[in-house]
Each structure stands twice: as C-alpha cells, then as structure tokens.
Structure 1
Amino acid sequence: MKTFINKFFICLTLLTSIALANCNNTNEDFPLELTIQDKVVLLESGEWLLKGFETNVMHTFKAGKKYTFYGSDNVFLNEAIPGTQEYTISGEMLMINYNFGNITSYQLKFSCDNSIVKFYEDDNLNLTLYKRGSKYKSCL
C-alpha cells in the first residue's frame, strides 16, 4: 500500500509540473499595438499593391518619399513614374503630401500578419494596400 501511495504522489507531482509548465503568460497572447514608427518601418520594408489594381499599380515607401510604379500582369516597370509624394510622421498619423497644398493625415491599421495595410482618413477607409509576395489573399 505504501508503494502505491508513493507512486500516486510521484505521478501527481509529475502531472502538476507538466500542467504548470504549459501555462502561458497572458501578456504574450496579445501582441502590442505597433507604434507609428514601427508601421512606417513595415511600409518601407516592402512593395505594396493597390487593392483593385494589384497587377497594375505598386507603391514603395523609402526615406520619406512614396513612389508609384505601373505595370501589367504583375510585371512592373523598373523605374517609378515621375513625381513622388513626401510623407512624414505627425503624432500617431502618417502625413502624405500629394503636392499643391494637398496634405492628408492617415491612421494606419495593419492586419493579416502585417501583409495588409489600411489607410484611414478621419475614421473613413481611404486606401488599402497588399504586401507584394505575401499570402494576403488567404486573409480576404
């Protein structure tokens, strides 16, 4: 009987240890919100396809300038079209200067493992971009 009780306590201790070792900290379950600086780094790290024109219009963001490329059937020109738009950060907003005094402030929201970015102007969806080469279609 004593051997049975010892085996029981050993098994109970082992099961408790395994159960406690598998517990996760709840803080790890919820990703932190990206800062605007993080969002701009994500924008600058890839090529972005315009929703509705994924095979014909691509944007890149580099060092404060937004470039636009045109193409056909996912084959884009090596050079951007003439004329760029400058962008800056203001608070938690991305400001894009469309030239001639047209400056728009956007709140950026990333989704689908950062492969989709939506640009909101005054809480209204203005623009959606898909990261080229990602699996964004699985999220649509």
Structure 2
Amino acid sequence: MKNLWNQIVFVGVILLSSCTPNEDELPKKLTIEDKIELLEKGEWLLKGLEKNVKHTFKNGKQSTFYGIDGVFTIPIPRELDYYLTNQKLTINYGSGNIKSYDVEFSCENSIVSFFLNKEISQVLYKEGSDYQSCVD
C-alpha cells in the first residue's frame, strides 16, 4: 500500500510540475526602454478620437496626425520631444509644459495608458491591432 501511495504522489508531482510555466514561458515585466521601443514600433490612435488623431513616436520626436474618418495625411508641423527621465516617459509640450508619465501596456501591447500622478491622462490604441476585443 505504501508503494502505491508513493507512486500516486510521484504522478501528482509530475502532473503539477508540468502545469507550472517555466521562466521562459512567464511574461516578462517591460522596462521603460521596452515600452518606448513598443511605442516607436507602432502608430497610435487617441482613445475617443480614433478616426481623427494619430501619434507616432520616432527617434525622440512625437508627431501628431489629424485625419477624417481614419484617413491620416501629413503630420502637423510641430513635433514634440520625448525622452526617458527617472523611469518615466517625459514629453516636452513647449513653453515650459513638460510632463513625465508612467506608461502601462495592456491587451497584448495594443493599448497604452499614460499615467500622470497615478491618474490616467490619455489612452492610445495601436493602429491595425485588435484592441477593440479588449475595450468594453
């Protein structure tokens, strides 16, 4: 009976350990550098104005495009500088208006939220992604 019990425990341990993801399967926590890289790889639609406002982030410059019904042409002439400060994304809006955001990605990195003082300041959706499946 003791041998049978040992076999049951052994099988249980094997089954449980096979259900536990190893380190390679666990999602990694994104660094601020990872987050900026994700921003730079996409084009981002402003929540609530998805068909009218799009942002891009490239080489320390944020560009804004205005569009009609999702058709975006050339960016507005003024680019905003962005950079990393104390593990936050800092954007210089000009005239001394500089804001540093905590940045959080969700929905398989298709939604990005900018937090200012722990409150959501803006939300962007990755253009061409399936972000709608994550939105209420």
Which TM class, normalised by the smaller chain length?
Answer: 0.7 to 0.9
Partner of 1:89: 84
Cα separation, 2, equivalents of 1:48 and 1:99: 21
Range with bigger deviation, 129-138 or 22-31: 22-31
Partner of 2:3: none
Pairwise CA RMSD: 2.3
- Stretches of structure 2 lacking an aligned partner (at least 5 in a row): 1-6
For residues 48-83 of structure 1, the C-alpha deviation after alignment (integer angstroms, 9 at most, x for no partner) is: 000000001000000000000011111101x21010
- The aligned amino acid for 1:90 is T
SS in 2 for 1:83: coil
- 2:61 aligned with 1:58: no
- The aligned amino acid for 2:69 is D
Cα separation, 2, equivalents of 1:128 and 1:25: 31
When the two structures are superposed, what TM-score results if normalisation uses the length of structure 2?
0.84
SS in 2 for 1:40: helix
Range with bigger deviation, 91-100 or 25-34: 25-34
1:28 shift after superposition: 4.9
- Stretches of structure 1 lacking an aligned partner (at least 5 in a row): 1-11
Cα separation, 2, equivalents of 1:23 and 1:66: 43
- 2:83 aligned with 1:100: no
If you compute each CA radius of gyration, which structure gives the higher value, 1 or 2?
Answer: 1
Partner of 1:124: 119
Cα separation, 2, equivalents of 1:57 and 1:45: 17
Task: Decide which of 25, 35, 39 is 1:39's aligned counterpart.
Answer: 35
- The aligned amino acid for 1:124 is E
- The aligned amino acid for 2:100 is S
When the two structures are superposed, what TM-score results if normalisation uses the length of structure 1?
0.82
SS in 2 for 1:53: coil
Partner of 2:45: 49
SS in 2 for 1:61: strand
- The aligned amino acid for 1:39 is K
1:30 shift after superposition: 4.0
Counting matched residue pairs gives 128
Range with bigger deviation, 29-38 or 117-126: 29-38
Q: Percent identity?
A: 51
